Structure 1
């Protein structure tokens, strides 16, 4: 009750924009926004306010080459079964990437909820995930890197306008044990790591496509194929990554690497097959990403994404100085259908909607990487090969 009263007071102060001093810890003037008022409150929250994942394995040493990476997204912690996670825990891999919608923290059962300032539903969801045996097995089996998406930020299709994003970021970073690493020192959840010696270096770049993203443009024909929910924005102020993250990404792309996995929670390459969230809904930002990769002469880029509740493989010419590939792995246990007719101009074969995960097998001798979609029993159902050297 006391916490609720404090929150109501903070929101009221932010709305009133009081010109005199106020007694919020860390602020001696009127807050300039509700987000600033809440930020002062969030700094007072105790450590046990935050759920924590079971202890995980350390990442591979920086000089150790990696040859197998698993990737997955969309894990509903309330669903009774997640056989893909059982299989992932038993697979051989150097690294497991969990790349968004790692929980459904804006949903109670099948009903969406509006998260309030304490993000009770989001914190409960992370607590439920931590308690699941198959998740504990994965944490014990594989070193992990993580990205977030809308449902583990706490707002369906949310972006920078989500008023509680700063607490959501804290919850994410504390759950995954990132708060004392570099990513914990800046706004947003993006970070990168590189593994392997010269000639065998894999750079893994985890983007944050939520914290800074400007609003999407709602469709003018709801549910129409190719325009289901959003249409491309014409707003010149559109932004996907925010100024600081764009600068950081430019620096990362100038680091030496032989293979670069750029993890985006939403799809990068598709442009013409659907009207859901992806980079083509902010087309100037999509072009900016391609231009940045080309200008930095970053070699060996492969995009990896989730979000779509269907797995896909893509190959696209003309956007980079070499063919661009993307592996979309989705979902772990939130499948909506058995088949799909979706076919983007860059798509390789049919999509795979049943439960799935992805694998990237790196052959350093030939300079190739096999991008695979795995059924929830581990069987390979789609595959393509990338020549990155």
Structure 2
């Protein structure tokens, strides 16, 4: 039985962060069944109301996987991977970069599949999966990546996506699901921000505040989602749903930095805002990853309704590690952000109260104060 649903998204905040590396105690080893990289998960009853959803991003498969024990204790109905679910990407100057079979990516999936903690988690928790650049194949990669179809094949096989799934037949890995009965329907939309994405404009001053890697590109021909995915998204937003959860591997609302985000293609971001407004999608929450830190972002002036975004990252490679090593103390500006970013390990939880018609979002960082937001729908 298949248990996963999937798509794509991401970029790294400050480069490669690393934390404690696991030992063989977390390894399944010879007990691993089926393909050595196939990661099935528990089945979700799509007809029952969704009451709790966990989500997270930026998981280094070679590092500590104990976060799964913590999330499992929350007993979520399902878990959404927001992208960078493994780190199998290579830089173009790596001799392995031009190997069309992408053995490094395959090895990364195999490493994660061998984690006992993660195997125990997915045995009881259904998964929905989007991707980002590090499980796409190249840092900050887009449509130009020559092995994107092989990356897609590995992605779909690793997450045990059924052979008759629409993602097996069309370009990209975007998808959506309707969960729950009439009156208690959650629409989960997972975007692919990699496969079709057009060129970004590289910075003229690397690491300078507000333009660390990229400047805004106002070229109308540079797309984030591609024509087919845009048309599909328009159709999805027209479907009736009580609560919509829009998954973007990279941040949508965030300003104040020059790393990858929808702000790098401002015309495309405005198109997304307009699409939400035109379809009356006032019941939409955005969840994103990529940044190796977490925060809430909010605007009320772009879609005609309150638009709330929660970024959660990283599951085991927080930016706090890089900051400690480098001595960095600066906090990037956040004009639409609620407070300072959470820079330690974190994950997201969404608790849905169907009686109150409320979603309670929790940004959880083990051992630290949990941050919360209430969203009425």
Give the Å deviation of 1:83. 2.7
Specify which of 196, 199, 203 is matched with residue 219 of structure 1: 203
Q: What residue number does 1:17 align with?
A: none
Contact kept? 2:203, 2:214, Cα under 8 Å: yes
TM-score w.r.t. structure 2 length?
0.85
Q: What residue number does 1:385 align with?
A: 374
Q: What residue number does 2:109 align with?
A: 126
Q: Residue 158 of structure 1 aligns to a residue in which SS?
A: coil
Task: Give the 5 Å matches for 1:232-311.
Answer: 232-271=216-255, 273-311=256-294
Contact kept? 1:77, 1:128, Cα under 8 Å: yes
TM-score w.r.t. structure 1 length?
0.82
Distance in 2, Cα, partners of 1:243 & 1:54? 31
Specify which of 185, 196, 199 is matched with residue 201 of structure 1: 185
Contact kept? 1:83, 1:376, Cα under 8 Å: no
Q: Residue 133 of structure 2 aligns to a residue in which SS?
A: coil
Q: Residue 310 of structure 2 aligns to a residue in which SS?
A: strand
Give the Å deviation of 1:383. 1.2
Contact kept? 2:37, 2:106, Cα under 8 Å: no
Q: Deviations over 1:132-155 (max 9, x none)?
A: 111101211211100000000110
Q: What residue number does 2:341 align with?
A: 351
Question: Structure 1 residue 324 and structure 2 residue 314: aligned?
Answer: no
Q: What residue number does 1:373 align with?
A: 363
Specify which of 87, 98, 108 is matched with residue 81 of structure 2: 98
Q: Residue 105 of structure 2 aligns to a residue in which SS?
A: helix
Q: Structure 1 residues 237, 68: closer, same or farther in 2, change over 3 A?
A: same
Higher relative contact order (CA 8 A, sep 6+): 2
Q: Deviations over 1:6-53 (max 9, x none)?
A: xxxxxxxxxxxxxxxxxxxxxxxxxxxxxxxxxxxxxxxxxxxx7533
Q: Structure 1 residues 319, 376: closer, same or farther in 2, change over 3 A?
A: same
Q: How many residue pairs were aligned?
A: 335
Distance in 1, Cα, partners of 2:105 & 2:253? 30
Give the Å deviation of 1:177. 1.4
Distance in 2, Cα, partners of 1:351 & 1:53? 34
Q: What residue number does 1:360 align with?
A: 350
Unaligned runs of 5+ in 2: 1-34, 321-327
Q: Residue 139 of structure 1 aligns to a residue in which SS?
A: helix
Give the Å deviation of 1:339. 7.4
Give the Å deviation of 1:113. 6.4
Specify which of 27, 47, 69 is matched with residue 86 of structure 1: 69
Question: Structure 1 residue 333 and structure 2 residue 322: aligned?
Answer: no
Q: Residue 161 of structure 2 aligns to a residue in which SS?
A: coil
Give the Å deviation of 1:89. 2.4
Q: Residue 151 of structure 1 aligns to a residue in which SS?
A: helix
Give the Å deviation of 1:102. 0.3
Give the Å deviation of 1:182. 1.9
Greater radius of gyration (CA): 1
Give the Å deviation of 1:363. 1.1
Contact kept? 2:65, 2:118, Cα under 8 Å: no
Q: What residue number does 1:59 align with?
A: 44
Question: Structure 1 residue 114 and structure 2 residue 97: aligned?
Answer: yes
Q: Deviations over 1:67-96 (max 9, x none)?
A: 1100000010111x1332221123211110
Q: Deviations over 1:247-284 (max 9, x none)?
A: 1111100111011000000001112x111000010000
Question: Greater shift after overlay, 252-261 or 90-99?
Answer: 90-99
Unaligned runs of 5+ in 1: 1-49
Distance in 1, Cα, partners of 2:343 & 2:200? 25
Task: Give the 5 Å matches for 1:142-181.
Answer: 142-180=125-163, 181=165
Q: Deviations over 1:161-187 (max 9, x none)?
A: 000000000100111111421222211
Give the Å deviation of 1:54. 3.3
